[in-house]
Amino acid sequence: MSGQFLPLIVAGALFLAVMALGLLVMLAMRARAERQLRGRLMHDAPDRGEERAAASGWLEDMEAGGRAVERLVDTDNETPRLLVQAGWRSTAQRSYFYIAQLLLPLLAGGLAVLVWLLGGEAATGIELIVYLLMGVFAGLLAPRFLLRKKAEVRQRRIAGEVPLFIHLLVLLFEAGLSTRQALASLVREGRGTLPELNRELAVVIRQLEAGADSSEVLRNLEEALDVSELGNVLGVLRQVDRYGGEIRGPLLEALEVLEERRSMTMREKVNKISGRMTVVMVLFFFPALLVFVAGPAFVSIIKALGDVAG
């Protein structure tokens, strides 16, 4: 009897271990962030440096291991750009990702072996190795897949905010503000209006206040986010900031191009939906309509033929 419940006991223990490990990592990351904030505000004494290093050293080791695993998967160094596109700019968010990149292959491999044990099949070494490799590969690819999906969703949100962003820029420039002043005003006042763009513009403003070149900062933002709609607007801002000139006309032209592109995209979606609806109507609605219209006549013909035969 105990042998029958052994896989369930192992599954429960593994689930509790995963939950406990995740909770421990979250608590440790929160404690490290609080210590760093306290250190910046209160200027901790130098003799507490060893205590902070000992408390967060194992987290840094796990993060370093996750970075090493990520380098094996990401041969094109795409992860930093995806992290920016997903909005995970803070140190804690990046640490969470790299720690997950280290732990998920191990946990997925353990779960795959557990599934093999729960299957009740004959214990063969080849099947065990296959299950283990499948779990490890799934754990290696899952964080990157989720990160890419998160980046794509956020890119679509940013693209949806660009038309309103252009209208607000036009209003601010007509009020006599410069490019830096307009962006700073959007950061202060546009948190609820442009939630995603506001986060990126806040980074731009911090870099500009630190003395960075505005054209270079805008170019880096355009390359990092990789949103074509936003890239057109940032290109106009860079050109006007460097060479001067009237900005209202180019922005309105970019808005017109954007609206035309959206109109074409909407037409393509409508055409696709029309085609799908035609297939649905042919498969489901037309047979029912045919039965409803031709059914009584067909029944009458059958009855008439039966009477003649009788």
Task: List the one residue out of 139, 150, 18 whose CA is nearest residue 72.
Answer: 139
Confidence at 2, pLDDT banded by 50, 70, 90: very low
Cβ-based neighbour number of residue 172 at 10 Å: 19
For residue 46, is pLDDT > 50? no
**Structure-token match 């002043």, residue found:** 181
pLDDT, residue 29, reads 61
pLDDT, residue 22, reads 61
pLDDT, tens digit (0-9, with 9 covering 90-100), for 190-201: 778 888 999 999
For residue 122, is pLDDT > 60? no
Tell me how far apart the alpha carbons of residues 163 and 188 are, in angstroms, rounded to a whole number. Answer: 19
Q: What is the pTM of this model?
A: 0.70
Tell me how far apart the alpha carbons of residues 86 and 28 are, in angstroms, rounded to a whole number. Answer: 23
Over residues 112-116, the mean pLDDT reads 73
**Structure-token match 């997903």, residue found:** 86
pLDDT, residue 6, reads 52
- Look up residue 292 and give its amino acid: F
Higher pLDDT, 103 or 8: 103
Over residues 260-275, the mean pLDDT reads 83
Contacts of 190 (CB under 8 A, 6+ apart): 168, 197, 198, 201
pLDDT, tens digit (0-9, with 9 covering 90-100), for 135-186: 788 888 888 899 999 999 999 999 989 989 998 998 888 888 888 888 889 8
- Look up residue 172 and give its amino acid: L
Whole-number average pLDDT of the chain: 77
pLDDT, residue 275, reads 79
DSSP assignment of the chain equals -HHHHHHHHHHHHHHHHHHHHHHHHHHHHHHHHHHHHHHHHH---GGGHHHHHHHHHHHHHHHHHHHHHHHHH-TT--HHHHHHHHT--SHHHHHHHHHHHHHHHHHHHHHHHHHHHHTT----HHHHHHHHHHHHHHHHHHHHHHHHHHHHHHHHHHHHHHHHHHHHHHHHHHTT--HHHHHHHHHHH-TTTSHHHHHHHHHHHHHHHTT--HHHHHHHHHHHH--HHHHHHHHHHHHHHHH----HHHHHHHHHHHHHHHHHHHHHHHHHHHHHHHHHIIIIIHHHHHHHHHHHHHHHHHHHHHHHH-
Tell me how far apart the alpha carbons of residues 179 and 169 are, in angstroms, rounded to a whole number. Answer: 9
pLDDT, residue 55, reads 44
Q: What are the structure tokens assigned to 117, written together? A: 């044990």
Lowest mean pLDDT among 152-161, 204-213, 239-248: 239-248
For residue 9, is pLDDT > 60? no
